Amino acid sequence: MRAKRLRQPLVLLFLSQLFCWTVGTGCFLVHGQRYQDLAIQTPIGKEDLLILGFMGGRDSWDTNNALRRLALKLRSRTNAGFRVETVENKKRALAIELVRKAFDRDRNGQLNERERASARLILYGQSFGGAAVVKLARQLKSMAVPILLTVQIDSVGRGDRVIPSNVAQAANLFQRNGLLIRGEPEIVPEDPDRTTIIGNFEFDYRRKEVDVSQVRWHKKIFRVAHSKMEHDPDVWAKVEELILDAANISQPAAYDRPTLSLEAPPYVASNNLFHCKNE
């Protein structure tokens, strides 16, 4: 009887903590992202570049985080022809609808060969959003839509290692310091003749200081390294660099091997693995 009385408060405490965590992480959503939440007017111009950033975890598409702030920064480059959106990682169907409408320049509801070949598209994503990038790329391969670049940031999820052959270039940023959550350490091309792996860039957080004062307590306990990488300015500077470099490439013929190589002085390369040097 006494054991039962002790268990009841513990169960209530657990449920109350679960409730607080659920509300704090945004599990109770009235609805997820909808197409009308997107700001892009479609179709986009022939020289325009569509950039989609995929949110991590349960983050809403408009969460004010580093991924979203980078998207808004890129969107502000009005003279560059960037058309940028952030997408919740569970909303790949919405992303496919946007891609189809963005490049459907004759507005007939489908992409013809010319429209697919002229598509200029970059995908990037963090955590579960990194895995969503690869899964979406695979879906777009079945539609014969080429992708200039994919960037994964501490990617978490199944099937995020092999980059499909419709991707011209791919980059992977990750950490292996996490106790529970560690990013995919090495991405590889499905077809090396069609996809160039720019690099697998490892960030080491054993000694690197990153401001995570605004991170919720449960994230600090269970995924501190993952959270540090999410809030690391050096990570997002690298992602921006990769995107801007790829944006200057003319769209290659569908599935042709790209020729761009990226010099990355802050990193040390070893067997296509790059290690961030923390000075």
pLDDT for res 154? 95
| Measured torsion, CA atoms of residues 9, 11, 14, 19, in degrees rounded to the nearest 10 | -100
pLDDT for res 214? 77
d(CA 169, CA 114): 21
Residue type, 92: R
- Entry pTM: 0.79
Q: What is the largest CA-CA distance in the chain?
A: 75
In a structure prediction context, what are the per-residue pLDDT tens digits for the chain, which is 279 residues long? 545 544 554 343 344 444 444 444 444 445 699 999 999 999 999 999 999 999 998 899 999 999 999 999 999 987 889 999 999 999 999 999 999 999 999 999 999 999 999 999 999 999 999 999 999 999 999 999 999 999 999 999 989 999 999 999 999 999 998 778 889 999 999 999 999 999 999 999 888 888 877 767 666 667 788 888 998 999 999 999 999 999 985 444 444 433 333 333 344 333 345 554 443
d(CA 152, CA 173): 6
d(CA 55, CA 70): 12
pLDDT for res 73? 96
pLDDT for res 129? 96
pLDDT for res 163? 98
Token pair of 7 as six digits: 């268990």
pLDDT for res 216? 75
pLDDT for res 1? 52
pLDDT for res 209? 85
Helix or strand run (H / E) with residue 221:
helix 217-222
The residues with which 54 forms a beta bridge, in sequence order, are: 87, 125
d(CA 275, CA 201): 6
pLDDT for res 26? 43
Q: Spell out the domains of the chain, with CATH numbers in brackets.
A: 35-249+270-276 (3.40.50)
pLDDT for res 254? 40
Residue type, 124: Y
Q: Are strands 196-202 and 167-174 parallel, antiparallel or unpaired?
A: parallel
